[in-house]
Amino acid sequence: MTTPHQTDLRGRVALITGASSGIGEALARALAGRGVRLALAARRTERVQALADELRQAGTEAFAITADVRDEADVQAMVTATVEHFGGIDILIPNAGLGYRASIVEGDTQRWKMMLDTNVYGVLLTLKYGVPHVVARGRGDVFLLSSVAGQKVGNGGAAYSATKFAVNAIGEALRQEMARENVRVTLLQPGVVISEFQEVADYPPGLIESWLGGTPPVQTQDIAQAVLAILDLPQHVSVNEICIRPTGQVNP
């Protein structure tokens, strides 16, 4: 994706959840490179603090927030801290999420609940408390992290796909709500992205290789570059959905 010009993002404020690793960390680094001020939230205090410290040392205005998006009080405090620190929010990215692959019969119910609470309820909470501050700026962007699993369901992926189908619905509803508020809503649907995600999700050995057939996966920084490209579009242009697969990924 190319754009005719680069938007000046210096001084804008982004709040990113799940910023301690993976796509969240890559987004933080990419936005820092464009002069965006960053509120970085995650449950893992030491890791998100280390990232904020590193970015500050490189000249970025960044601070870390310990927050669990499943906890309404944490989300409210996270948003309040961001607004008090920076004065508002221009870019909101509810990125926090996790996966878990298991059949319905063999699934761990507690892991299902954690995933549903994080991937769906956590997204809704972050939007509920964060979006009004984006609207207050008079313009802005919201990026939601879905997945190709939100388009296709595979064996063992029932619960995870359910969360991502839900994110798709949330994204479309938010797009309609924000259409006349000058706030763009983009649903990102990555294919195979290599990060810690696969380890946490209990992917069986050989699954990723079967999907890619020896071809390269998408890297987290590739997702971040897509986000920058969307931010570089004129404000009256909105990319509502973008599916980002590795070129060699046939299925899903």
Neighbours of 201 (CB within 10 A): 18
Residues pairing with 242 in the sheet? 188
**Type of residue found at 208:** I
What distance in Å separates the CA atoms of residue 17 and residue 14, rounded to the nearest whole number?
10
Residues pairing with 66 in the sheet? 42
What distance in Å separates the CA atoms of residue 61 and residue 246, rounded to the nearest whole number?
33
Q: 233: helix, coil or strand?
A: coil
Set 100, 121, 129, 160: catalytic member: 160
CB 12 within 8 A of CB 227: no
Can you read off the two tokens belonging to residue 90? 């221009």
Can you read off the two tokens belonging to residue 141? 């962007």
- Give me the sign of the Cα torsion angle 41, 42, 44, 48: negative
Q: How far is CA 2 from the centre of its chain?
A: 21
160 labelled catalytic: yes
Question: How far is CA 58 from each of CA 13, 23, 34, 49, 252, rounded to the nearest angstrom?
Answer: 17, 20, 12, 14, 39
Which residues are identified as catalytic? 160
